[in-house]
Amino acid sequence: MKPSESIQGVQSTTHPKVVVVVGFAEALAAPEVVWSLVDSGFTVVAFARKGRHAALRHSRHVTIHEIAAPENDSVAALAELAAFLESRRDALHDHHVLLPLDDVAVWLCSQIPGSSGWVLAGPRGPCAELALNKQRQIEAALAAGFNVPATFIVSSAEEFSRWPRHFPVIIRPAEAVSVHETRLRKGRNWICSDEGELKQAQSAWNGGALLVQPYLEGTGEGVFGLATSNGIVAWSAHRRLRMMNPHGSGSSSCVSEAVPDEVKAPVAALIQSSGWRGLFMVELLRSRDGRLWFVEFNGRAWGSMALARRQSLEYPAWTVKLAIDQTLPVRVPAPTEAVVSRNVGRELMHVLFVLRGPQSRAIRNWPSVWATLTGVFRFHRRGSFYNWRKDDWRVFVTDSWYTIRDQILKRN
Over residues 314-368, the pLDDT tens digits come to: 999 999 999 999 888 888 888 788 999 999 999 999 999 999 998 888 888 888 8
Over residues 278-309, the pLDDT tens digits come to: 999 999 999 999 999 999 999 999 999 999 99
Identify the bridge partners of residue 283 per DSSP, sorted by sequence position: 222, 296
User: What is the dotted CATH code of the domain comprising 5-131?
Assistant: 3.40.50.720
Q: According to the model, what pLDDT value does residue 279 have? A: 97
Q: According to the model, what pLDDT value does residue 327 have? A: 83
Q: How high does pLDDT run on average in the chain?
A: 90
Over residues 242-278, the pLDDT tens digits come to: 999 888 778 999 999 999 989 999 999 999 999 999 9
Whole-angstrom distance, CA of residue 306 vs CA of residue 87: 32
CA atoms within 13 A on the CB side of 153: 11
Over residues 95-148, the pLDDT tens digits come to: 999 999 999 999 999 999 988 889 999 999 999 999 999 999 999 999 999 999
Tell me: pLDDT of 161 over 80.
Answer: no
Of the candidate ranges 157-166, 357-366, 378-387, the one whose mean pLDDT is the lowest:
157-166
Residue whose C-alpha is closest to residue 190's, from 135, 252, 104, 248? 248
Angle at 12 between CA 6 and CA 18, to 5 degrees: 120
218-411 has which fold?
A: D-amino Acid Aminotransferase; Chain A, domain 1 (3.30.470)
Q: According to the model, what pLDDT value does residue 10 have? A: 38
What residues does each domain of the chain span?
5-131, 150-214, 218-411
Q: What is the DSSP string of 310-357?
A: TTT--HHHHHHHHHH-TT----PPPP-S--EEE-HHHHHHHHHHHHH-
Tell me: pLDDT of 7 over 70.
Answer: no
Q: According to the model, what pLDDT value does residue 16 have? A: 56
Q: According to the model, what pLDDT value does residue 329 have? A: 81
Q: Was domain 150-214 assigned CATH 3.30.1490?
A: yes
Furthest CA-CA distance within the chain: 62
Q: According to the model, what pLDDT value does residue 2 have? A: 37
Helix (H, G, I), strand (E, B) or coil at 207: coil
Decide whether 5-131 matches 218-411 in CATH topology.
no
CA atoms within 13 A on the CB side of 323: 25
CA atoms within 13 A on the CB side of 54: 24
Tell me: pLDDT of 160 over 90.
Answer: no
Q: What is the DSSP string of 263-321?
A: HHHHHHHHHHHHT--EEEEEEEEEETTS-EEEEEEE-S--TTHHHHHTTT--HHHHHHH
Q: According to the model, what pLDDT value does residue 334 have? A: 82
411 pLDDT band, cuts 50/70/90, is low
Per the model's pLDDT, the better-predicted residue between 360 and 239 turns out to be 239
Whole-angstrom distance, CA of residue 111 vs CA of residue 124: 8
Helix spans in 49-182 (H): 74-88, 103-110, 126-132, 134-144, 157-162
Residue whose C-alpha is closest to residue 404's, from 359, 355, 347? 347
Q: Residue type at 113?
A: P
Q: According to the model, what pLDDT value does residue 8 have? A: 36
> Which residues 6+ apart lie within 8 Å of 23 measured at CB?
46, 47, 48, 81, 100, 101, 105, 108, 109
Over residues 22-63, the pLDDT tens digits come to: 999 999 999 999 999 999 999 999 999 999 999 999 999 999
Whole-angstrom distance, CA of residue 249 vs CA of residue 256: 19
